[in-house]
Amino acid sequence: MHRTVIVGGGAAGLELATRLGNQYGRDNRAAITLVERARTHLWKPLLHAVAAGAIDRSQHELNYLAQAHWHHFTYRFGEMTGLDRAAREIELGATHDEEGRVITPATRLGYDTLIMAVGSVTNDFGTPGAAEHAIPLETPDQAARFNRRLINACLRANAQEEPVRPGQLHVAIIGAGATGTELAAELHRTVRAVVAYGMDHIVPERDIRITLVEAAPRILPALPERIANETLRLLREMGVEVRTGTRVAEVREDGLVLADGSVMPSELIVWAAGVKGPDFLHELGGLETNRINQLVVEQTLRTTRDPAIFAIGDCAACPQPGRDQPVPPRAQAAHQMASHMVGQMERILGGRPLEPFVYRDFGSLVSLGEYSTVGTLMGGLLGRSFFVEGLFARLMYRSLYQMHLSALHGKAPTLWRNWLSLFSNRPAPTVKLH
């Protein structure tokens, strides 16, 4: 039986494991195994909402063990630590509980086809103090950690006898890409909602400041300029301070030191600037990587130095014909790569040649929470882009998440769950308060 091992249970890896399990695992045509170090899955574009307290992560998390049981693949709890290409085995490190007891021992897992889908991590570019004092938004635990720090900061400021100190309730978000921009908008609403629950010592207009810091000349540098300009206008209308062309030289416990030597007081700092492949990918088993640790692949998604190993999602540097830049690390690209890899596995099992992956850009959307959603959609006979905003853009943004859920559960179950949710809402705070 052909052994297919997928490492990484993010959007691309979990969608692929689910579809391959349904297609080949059900009747034992192939053994599909997903290796993941977390217990539950949360769609990564939701992390900013978890950090802001806009959603409860437990309502959106998916248990890997249950998903594997329902969709006929095997879930292996653990973290990949090495690769033996000659033996076609991956090495898994031991896992431990909070008391230090071993949960699963170190082991090796054989494969016939290996698919790397380990996503990306935050790139702090070696900025002094960033790792110690800034919280990245790579995992649900990190997002929840920032939310707890935010709530604790509000409780602390409300309980103290002295006035709120300069910078005490200031939030600095480093990086004005989609994650940082969406987080700034969500925080503007949720922090005020938290304070409204009886924190009379805090005056939002006086004490709370949210600053978005971007080294590039404009926010959303990877997206069309029209989206950036409209988003900037909306952020400034909210009262979010936006500082472009500003490089951070150091992150301290009490704020940022900028490249010009000035200091920006802030006791709550998020690093959302730049991504790279996880460090362990660098020269993993002799595989080719680029300068940001992504695995270099051919257009078929096969790695350049091993025909049995593929990479998809943010960890893959896949060329685009006629362009200097590889496929961008975006959710829609991960979804498309997972779908293409399903077809590649069918060709591998059937002994047929592989087909090249062609990325299709369907546009860009940026959600500013309840305030607005803006973006562009690609379409029409001439392939032109169309600017969208407001309710229609918000519905399109939500449809991206529904597409992900449909890939994991099927269209009919997703529609059924959405219908049931209309009748299951209970009175609750508008933000998470713990």
pLDDT tens by residue, 66-95: 999 999 999 999 999 999 999 999 999 999
- What whole-number percentage of the chain has pLDDT above 90? 69
Residues 44 and 79 in one domain: yes
pLDDT of residue 381: 37
Residues 139 and 264 in one domain: yes
Residues 93 and 14 in one domain: yes
- pLDDT digits over 100-113, tens only? 999 999 999 999 99
Of 295, 318, 350, the last residue of a domain is 350
pLDDT of residue 426: 47
Q: Is the pLDDT of residue 233 over 80?
A: yes
Of 70-74, 262-266, 359-363, the one with minimum mean pLDDT is: 359-363
| 95 is a domain residue | yes
| 146 is a domain residue | yes
- pLDDT digits over 192-212, tens only? 888 888 888 898 888 999 999
pTM score, whole prediction: 0.91
Q: Is the pLDDT of residue 422 over 60?
A: no
C-alpha distances in Å from residue 246, one per residue of 163, 179, 275: 30, 18, 18
Please give the residue that has the higher pLDDT: either 56 or 306. 306
Residues 242 and 136 in one domain: yes
Q: Is the pLDDT of residue 432 over 70?
A: no
pLDDT of residue 379: 53
Please give the residue that has the higher pLDDT: either 364 or 432. 364
- β-bridge pairing 248-252 and 255-258: antiparallel
| 427 is a domain residue | no
Average pLDDT, the chain: 90
Q: How far apart are CA 374 and CA 365, in angstroms?
A: 6
- β-bridge pairing 209-213 and 241-243: parallel
| 358 is a domain residue | no
> What tokens appear for 335 in the block?
């979804």
Q: Kindly provide the b/e burial profile for residues 45-84, where b requires at least 16 CB atoms within 10 angstroms of the residue's own CB.
A: bbbbbbbbbbbebeebbbebeebbeebbbbbbbbbbeebe
The answer for residues whose C-beta is within 8 angstroms of residue 400's C-beta and 6 or more apart is 45, 331, 332, 365
Of 217, 243, 271, the last residue of a domain is 271
Yes or no: say if 215 and 221 are a contact pair by the CB < 8 Å rule.
no
Residues 261 and 168 in one domain: yes
| 408 is a domain residue | yes
C-alpha distances in Å from residue 18, one per residue of 23, 301, 334: 9, 19, 14
Residues 287 and 265 in one domain: no
Q: Is the pLDDT of residue 429 over 60?
A: no
| 357 is a domain residue | no
pLDDT of residue 333: 94
Residues 263 and 216 in one domain: yes
Phi, psi of 62 (to 5 degrees): -120, 130
| 432 is a domain residue | no
Residues 145 and 243 in one domain: yes
Q: Is the pLDDT of residue 280 over 50?
A: yes
Residues 295 and 259 in one domain: no
Model confidence at 417, in pLDDT bands (50, 70, 90)? low
C-alpha distances in Å from residue 411, one per residue of 5, 165, 279, 404: 26, 51, 36, 10
Beta bridge partners of 379: 384
Q: At what angle do helices 178-196 and 225-238 cross, to 10 degrees?
A: 20
Which amino acid makes up residue 265?
Answer: P
Q: What is the CATH number of the domain that holds 110?
A: 3.50.50.60
Residues 75 and 110 in one domain: yes
Q: How far apart are CA 37 and CA 325, in angstroms?
A: 30
| 434 is a domain residue | no
Number of domains in the chain: 3
Residues 151 and 250 in one domain: yes
> What tokens appear for 433 in the block?
């308060």
Of 271, 305, 328, the last residue of a domain is 271
Helical H segments across 262-389, by residue range: 331-350
* Three-class secondary structure of residue 323 per DSSP: coil
* Closest listed residue to residue 167, CA positions, set 244, 252, 51: 252
Instruction: Give me the domain span that covers residue 89.
Output: 2-120+277-350
* Three-class secondary structure of residue 429 per DSSP: coil
Q: Kindly provide the b/e burial profile for residues 102-133, where b requires at least 16 CB atoms within 10 angstroms of the residue's own CB.
A: eeeeeeebebebbbbbbbbbbbbeebebbeeb
Residues 167 and 292 in one domain: no
